[in-house]
Amino acid sequence: MNVRKLILGLLDMAVKVAFVVFVVVLISRYSKVAYNYGYRIFNQIPVSSGTGRTVTVTISASDSASDIAEKLSSAGLITDKMLFRLQEKFSDYQGLETPGVYELSTAMTTEEMLQIMAAGSSEVSGTDTAAKESTDENSGSSDSGEESTTGETNAGEESNGG
């Protein structure tokens, strides 16, 4: 009888240890997956580097973030639909996507694509946006580069109390 109790006790302890090891392995594995997923939400990497390839995507008024994710995924602009939905949810552009036809590039991050879709402009790509803003700022001051530089210097002096 004592041998039987001893064997059952050892078996019980072995099952408990195996369960604890199993739980630790699951927690370890899925915490790495969760960390990597969370990291990718905020550290956006485009599908391709360099200039990428340009793809035309049509967004309709009835499209949800899931529908947009499906369209972008099938066009090869994103690799993970769930990741796109989370990035859209945590972005400044949540729910601001406007219907239209957009020229998007595989070299754009999700944030850049959302920015373009929220602006409702299919003419401007991510890199052209920065160049356009820079051109708009300079053209507002004057026509020549020299006068623009002088205008910027004077504006800086005025903000310093001069």
Q: Is residue 7 part of a domain?
A: yes
Query: Structural domain tally of the chain?
Result: 2
Contact 129, 152 (CB under 8 A): no
Q: Is residue 150 part of a domain?
A: no
Helix (H) or strand (E) holding 54: strand 54-59
Are residues 111 and 72 located together in one domain of the fold? yes
What Cα–Cα distance (Å) separates residue 158 from each residue in 15, 70, 147, 155? 77, 51, 16, 5
Q: Is residue 118 part of a domain?
A: yes
Report the alpha-carbon distance of residue 44 to residue 53 in Å, rounded. Answer: 18
pLDDT in tens, the chain (162 residues): 688 889 999 999 999 999 999 999 999 999 999 998 888 888 888 888 888 889 899 998 888 899 999 999 998 899 889 999 999 998 888 888 889 899 999 999 989 999 999 886 444 444 444 434 434 444 444 444 443 333 344 444 444 444
Report the alpha-carbon distance of residue 159 to residue 147 in Å, rounded. Answer: 18
Are residues 38 and 62 located together in one domain of the fold? no
Are residues 71 and 95 located together in one domain of the fold? yes
Report the DSSP beta bridge partners of residue 101.
Answer: 58
User: Range of 109's domain?
Assistant: 54-122
Are residues 74 and 117 located together in one domain of the fold? yes
Write down the pTM of the prediction: 0.58
Q: Is residue 132 part of a domain?
A: no
Report the alpha-carbon distance of residue 105 to residue 27 in Å, rounded. Answer: 37
CATH number at residue 92: 3.30.1490.480
Contact 117, 98 (CB under 8 A): yes
